[in-house]
Amino acid sequence: MISTVMIQPVDDREMSFIDDEIASIRNIYGADFRLVPVRVDNWNDDLSPWEAPPVFGREGFGGGAAGTLARIAKITCDRSCRYIIGGYSLAGLFAIWAAYQTDVFAAVAAASPSVWFPSFAQYAADSVIRTKKVYLSLGDTEERTKNPVMSTVGDNIRAIHSHLLDSGIKCTLEWNSGDHFKEVRQRTAKAFAWAASDL
């Protein structure tokens, strides 16, 4: 029997409610799985695919995603397992990016991913994703921000969703009520449960 392993980059804040998230996934998914949280030390640096200047506040992005993916690669060697990469916000962006780098992931669970990240939408359009199933979601007020970079998130996620569908990827885009910070645990649980279903 193939085991389902969900992999999620997390920081200390997300670790504080990981047990609740696992319970929520279990309630929705209803099948056996294991969730492996992968701690990151610096959210902006460890999950960004390339360097970028600050978008909010003073902290930029260090482009350390390759190093984080290398750490994750060490726990995805068992071919009797089916691996799903996922996460929330910048971790959701990382999950999408990771599926362009390797074919080890059976599905992607990207909840409110930071697809406003500079040049990412173009990267996604110009590259070939190496998974067959992608879950995307966004809060319905997330694009209504005065920040000119972050306000692109809605158009970008629509474009990525359309591109993946045109590429033959099984992909859904779910709109949730509220802003980026509403029901983080529940949104992430829904993402993983959808990604794991019918694989």
Domain assignments of the chain as residue spans, ordered by start: 3-196
Average pLDDT over residues 116-135: 98
Instruction: Report the alpha-carbon distance of residue 197 to residue 199 in Å, rounded.
Output: 6
Confidence of residue 57 (pLDDT cuts 50, 70, 90): confident
Asked whether 188 and 111 are in contact (CB, 8 A), the reply is yes
Q: What is the pLDDT of residue 199?
A: 85
Q: Give the pLDDT band of residue 1 (cuts 50, 70, 90).
A: low
Q: How far is CA 95 from the centre of its chain?
A: 4
When pLDDT is averaged across residues 83-96 and rounded to a whole number, the result is: 98
CATH topology for 3-196?
A: Rossmann fold (3.40.50)
> Taking the model in full, what pTM does it have?
0.97
pLDDT score of 47: 98
Residues 168, 184 contacting (CB under 8 angstroms): no
